Amino acid sequence: MSLLPSVVPGLGIVKGMALTLRRFFQPKATVMYPEQPADVATKFRGRLQLLYDENGALKCETCFQCAQACPIECIDMGGMDTKGRFHVHWGPPETYGERREESALRRSGRAVPDPAYEHFAPFDTATVDAIMEAHDHDPKYLLPMLEATQAAFGFLPVSALKRISERTGTWYAQIYGTASYYGHLRFEPPASREQATEVRARRATDAGYLEALGASLGGGSRGSKTIAPRKTVAPRKGGDA
């Protein structure tokens, strides 16, 4: 048997065609992903899945560490970050160009609230370009660049971050990771007072902490100038009058 192919001319082609014909009549294996979800074994290790905690909250904090750490930058995400802000993200421009289109977002079936689209709105590139020029397009000055951008726009428009990414050669994930880390940088125009207070309460800012500390001490720090007024002291049951 093993000798046959070498002595009968054309037998290889016949065998190959036979295989093709056999497969042709077998059921198709193509899965129309993403319209049709793929059947993935639960133990499959390459599966990307975000887990939920016991309270039903997503455990992923959109901290972007996986995106930043991934050596081939295939991880990317959109969602609510810990400050309750929605963001749609993309990796390096050349990898994810198509996904920037609105239609691509729609096709992906992700819920994209309207404000997200505003991030794609045209903006004043000259301002950002001047800021980058002043800092030599050097990613080492990313923080001062972001601060200057926020000073110019009142917040950090995603399109500005995108431009900084393109022009300085810094990955978007890294810029977003940096910008979202620092409490004084924001991605939306200054919020209404109520929203601001809510964010402050959640982020335990210095002022919030001092106020809570003052309240917790129950007046143990009387005469202190630096502790904020104890407006939030809860009424005590049978405490001091």
Partner 1 sequence: MSAILASPKGWPAILLARAGAADPTDLDAAIKTGAFEGLRRAVRELGPDGTIHEIEASGLRGRGGAGHLTAEKWRTAAGTPATRRYVVANGYGADPSASTDRTLIETDPYAVIEGAAIAAFGIGAEDVFISVRATATEAVRRLEAAVDAATARNFIGDDALGSGRRIEVTVRTVQGAYMLGEETVLLKALDGKRGQPEQRPPHPATRGFRNGPTVVQNVQTLASVPWILVHRAKAFKAIGLGDAPGTILVDVRGHERSGVAEAPLGTPLERVVELGGKPARGRTLKAVVVGGPTGGILPPSELSTPYTFADLRAVGAHVGSGSVIVVDDRACVVDLARLLTRFSADEACGKTIPCRIGLRRIAEIGERLSTGTSRGGDLDLLADLSADVVGSGLCDHERLATLPMMSGLRYFRDELDAHLLRGECPAGVCNPTRLGATA
Binding site for ligand SF4 (CB under 6 A): 60-66
Nearer to partner 1, 158 or 175 (CB): 175
Q: Contact 168/132 with Cβ under 8 angstroms? A: yes
Nearer to partner 1, 139 or 157 (CB): 139
> How many C-beta atoms lie closer than 10 Å to residue 185's C-beta?
16
**Does residue 226 interact with partner 1 by CB under 8 A?**
yes
Provide, rounded to whole angstroms, the least separation between the CB of residue 69 and partner 1: 10
Provide, rounded to whole angstroms, the least separation between the CB of residue 13 and partner 1: 58
**Element (H or E) spanning 86, and its range?**
strand 86-87
**Does residue 52 interact with partner 1 by CB under 8 A?**
no
Assess whether the previous peptide bond of 27 is cis (omega < 30° from 0). no
Measured distance CA(87)–CA(176) in Å, rounded? 10
Among partner 1, ligand SF4, none, what does residue 62 contact (CB within 5–8 Å per kind)? ligand SF4
> How many C-beta atoms lie closer than 10 Å to residue 200's C-beta?
15
Measured distance CA(66)–CA(77) in Å, rounded? 10
Among partner 1, ligand SF4, none, what does residue 216 contact (CB within 5–8 Å per kind)? partner 1
| Residue 169 one-letter amino acid | G
Among partner 1, ligand SF4, none, what does residue 60 contact (CB within 5–8 Å per kind)? ligand SF4
Binding piece for partner 1, criterion CB under 8 A, among 36-44, 104-112, 188-196, 207-215: 207-215
The residues with which 58 forms a beta bridge, in sequence order, are: 52
Whose CA is closest to 161, among 144, 142, 140, 175? 175
Question: Which residues contact partner 1 by CB under 8 A?
Answer: 61, 63, 65, 139-145, 174, 177-178, 181-185, 202-204, 206-207, 209-210, 212-213, 216-227, 234, 236-240
